[in-house]
Amino acid sequence: MPPTPRVKWTRDELLIALNLYHKLTFGQMHARHPAIVAVAEKLGRGANSLAMKLCNLASLDPALKMRGIKGLSGASALDRLVWGEFHANLSEAAPASEEAFRKLFEAVESSEVEVTPREGVVVRKAPPRGPTELTATVKIRRGQDYFRQAVLNNFGGCCGVTGLAVRKLLVASHILPWGRHEEHRLNVRNGLCLSRLHDAAFDVGLVTFDGELRLRLSSRLKSEVSQRAVKENFSAYEGQALNLGKDAVLPDEAFLAVHREAIFKK
């Protein structure tokens, strides 16, 4: 019996694969990962096929090349084309990929669809949205969902400073502010996974990270070190590098340099 011919990947399938790609680290791109198993089943493909496709896409990722990770060498011409289009226009492509991902799992508007490192793809009823969220467009919400999952998973679902692993207490912080840098809003390298407390401190410039990704405290925050909360939540981690896996995408140093110069209150 002749071998079954391979079914070529379509643009729509690659859009979903790229969405999943940015929510996993390279070491998770294997056929046993629950998210890969779940997505492959929905696509009508084998988990090995999807895992291989993700590893082929990894060969196109300059952020992984910076860490010495090459990926597989089998990226097709269509892979390269869709990769280029996706990353050239993240503000449109990322929300579209998130919408396609949700449709793949037949999620209704009142549901959350989340990829987590341990559970895979989770579909759950979403909590009620506040007034601000209600007025946001679907496109903005989809982009925010994509960015949050990609950033949190890039940090292993833990605060990069403290290691806190309670997902509901974590924030995908923007290094370059959302409001002033639209072109980088959904760029994973513009994201830090921080606890809500450390996100607030980073946002107002009370903390920052140096060129070695080590935590720095502002003089204003240091002046409050007599407070137990400041000592335990900030001083205890001063000089410690962000906690990132060996296969994680690194935050962009140029973005952090802007934060140090323009936002950090030295």
- Each residue of 81-90: pLDDT tens digit? 999 999 999 9
Measure the CA–CA gap between 218 and 224, rounded to whole angstroms: 10
Contact predicate 150/188, CB 8 Å:
yes
pTM over 0.85, yes/no: yes
* Strand blocks (E) in 57-213: 111-116, 120-125, 170-174, 191-195, 207-209
Share of the chain above pLDDT 90, in %: 86
Q: Where are the domains of the chain?
A: 7-151, 155-266
**Least confident residue range of 32-36, 127-131, 236-240:** 127-131
Map residue 145 onto helix, strand or coil: helix
Measure the CA–CA gap between 86 and 84, rounded to whole angstroms: 5
**Contact partners, residue 214, CB within 8 Å, separation at least 6:** 239, 240, 241, 242
Task: List pLDDT tens digits, range 58-105.
Answer: 999 999 999 999 999 999 999 999 999 999 999 999 999 999 999 999
Measure the CA–CA gap between 19 and 17, rounded to whole angstroms: 5
**Contact partners, residue 188, CB within 8 Å, separation at least 6:** 22, 63, 147, 150, 151, 154, 249
Tell me what pLDDT residue 113 has.
96
Q: Using pLDDT thresholds of 50, 70 and 90, give the confidence band for residue 1.
A: very low
Token digits of residue 4 = 């079954």
